[in-house]
Structure 1
Amino acid sequence: MTTEPSTYHRRMAEQKRAAIIEAATRLFLRSGYGGASLAKIAAEADVSKATLFKQFPTKAALFDAIVTEYWKMEDEQKLMPAVGDLRGGLTTIGGRYVALLTRPGMADLFRIVIAEASRFPELGRTQFELGKMPFFDSVCRYLRAEAAAGTVQLDDPELAATQFLGMISDYVFWPRMLLVNWAPGKAAMARVVEEAARTLQARYAVGPHGGH
């Protein structure tokens, strides 16, 4: 007799986990991180407190899971672009960044962090370390690979990655923190990514299309 959970039970556990994360996000927005207890979240998600505590024994663990879920990429999205085409590689990475930033609920997640950061600074740290930092690191790895191949000349990959991602997020995402109806179209966002890639190419690339 096997002790492995059945496909049905795994699917049910995944559905309950998703319901808990969605309910927690709604309650954090409505009541604030401090005002949302695990008991209230269980009621909002329509699961028992035992079910919630089994998956998330603390509110901090639940928030960690929320951040991880929102920033999660599929396996193919984690693959580093081929080295040798800086503009094409950055365009691919920039498209992935746009997909993350425009994911449903991402703006809500940032609003929770911004609203509660003064009382719960660990929320900002979690958002940075579990959310943005892994993606930022992947951009830095790509730029280092291009530098090692001799296609770019840059001394500070972290600065270049900050410049690139900042050009994208300043148009695609941050206006949404103040303008709730900010929703640029796909063509406009693609153009921003393309221009950001061109800018880094002009600044750092070695050869006829670069500044070196």
Structure 2
Amino acid sequence: MTPAPSAYHQRVAQEKRALIVRAATELFLELGYDRASLARIADSAGVSKATLFKQFPTKAALFDAIVGDSWAGNDVADVPPAGDLTAGLTVLGRRYATLLGQPEMTDLFRIVIAELPRFPELARAHFSQGKLPYFETVRIYLLAERDAGTADVADPELAATQFLGMISNYLFWPSLLLPDWTVTPARTTAVVEEAVRTTVARYGAR
């Protein structure tokens, strides 16, 4: 029976994984997904090819890890309890704003957009493993509020799209085209609060 790795070896493996993911993101942006070979990524990360292949046997697996890391955190899969539409949407909106504010999120979208004509599977992976699970969290939450009688939502999918769109259209999408686009924490809070108020005004149970 193979012994479990020690805490030290687990930490070293995690540190090397982070180096690989960071190096891959930078090279995908610089060279493109196709030209950034795994060997070159290993060299840039300062790890051996054997170490890289052990964690990521294919370039697609490495890209999946970049997607997962970009969308991870902030308990994105946790659905707030139903009963207070304003409070629940505020939690979801703040989480989304935090995710979109990560520098690696902008990098990820730029990679996907740049490689879309040649590698449409990258966009599908990004959507299915990143955006879709978060979108589903919002949709399921709105369904729960409808069932609780606190929201009048005939089309939860459309309502979730509207809510998230109000946030991303100000906080995120301009940054892809305008390198100097910055949003202050106070402005971020205001954007989320306005999205919540608009959604509650439209879908809150009368």
Q: TM-score range by the shorter chain?
A: over 0.9
1:96-175 alignment, distance < 5 Å? 96-175=95-174
User: How many angstroms apart in 2 are the aligned matches of 1:28 and 1:92?
Assistant: 33
**C-alpha separation in 2, matches of 1:26 and 1:139:** 31
1:179 matched to 2:178 = yes
Separation in 2, partners of 1:109, 1:177:
11
Q: 65-74 or 44-53: which moved more? A: 65-74
- Shift of residue 88, structure 1, vs aligned partner: 1.5
Give the whole-Å Cα distance in 1 for the aligned partners of 2:29 and 2:79.
35
Distance in 1, matches of 2:74 and 2:170, equals: 24
1-structure distance, mates of 2:2, 2:96: 42
Distance in 1 (CA, whole Å) between partners of 2:74 and 2:162 is: 25
Matches of 1:137 and 1:82, distance apart in 2: 15
In the alignment, the residues of structure 1 paired with residue 97 and residue 143 of structure 2 have an alpha-carbon distance, to the nearest angstrom, of 22
How do 1:36-47 residues align onto structure 2 when only pairs under 5 Å count? 36-47=36-47
Q: 3-state DSSP class of the match of 2:189?
A: helix
Shift of 1:160: 0.2
Aligned to 1:17: 17
Question: How far apart, in 2, do the equivalents of 1:113 and 1:153 lie?
Answer: 36
Q: What SS does the corresponding residue of 2:103 show, helix, strand or coil?
A: coil
**Residue number in structure 1 paired with 2:6:** 6
| Distance change >3 Å, CA 73–CA 3, structure 1 → 2 | same
Residue pairs, 1:57-76, within 5 angstroms: 57-75=57-75
1:160-201 Cα deviation digits (max 9, x unpaired): 000000000000000001101111101111111111111111
Q: How much does 1:19 deviate?
A: 0.2
What one-letter code is carried by the residue in structure 2 that aligns with 1:26?
E
Equivalent position of 1:210 in the other structure: none
The runs of 5 or more residues in structure 2 that have no matched partner are none
Deviation, structure 1 residue 82: 2.3
Deviations along 1:114-145, one digit per CA (max 9) or x if unpaired, are 00011000010011000111100000010000
Question: Are 2:203 and 1:204 aligned?
Answer: yes
Secondary structure at 2:135 match in 1: helix
Letter in 2 for 1:24: A
Q: Is the 8 A contact 2:110 2:176 kept in 1?
A: yes
| Cα deviation, residue 2, structure 1 | 7.4
Identity %: 60
The question of whether the paired residues in 1 share the 8 Å contact of 2:74 and 2:95 is answered with: no
The offset of 1:81, in angstroms, is 1.8
Distance in 1, matches of 2:33 and 2:113, equals 11
TM-score computed with the length of structure 2 as normaliser: 0.97
Hey, what's the Cα distance between the residues in 1 that align with 2:197 and 2:91?
A: 13
Residue pair 2:150, 2:205 contacting (<8 A) in 1 also = yes
Q: Gapped runs of 5+ residues in structure 1?
A: 208-212
**Counterpart in 2 of 1:54?**
54
Partner residue in 2 for 1:195: 194
What is the Cα-based RMSD across aligned positions, in Å? 1.2
In structure 1, the partner of 2:34 is 34
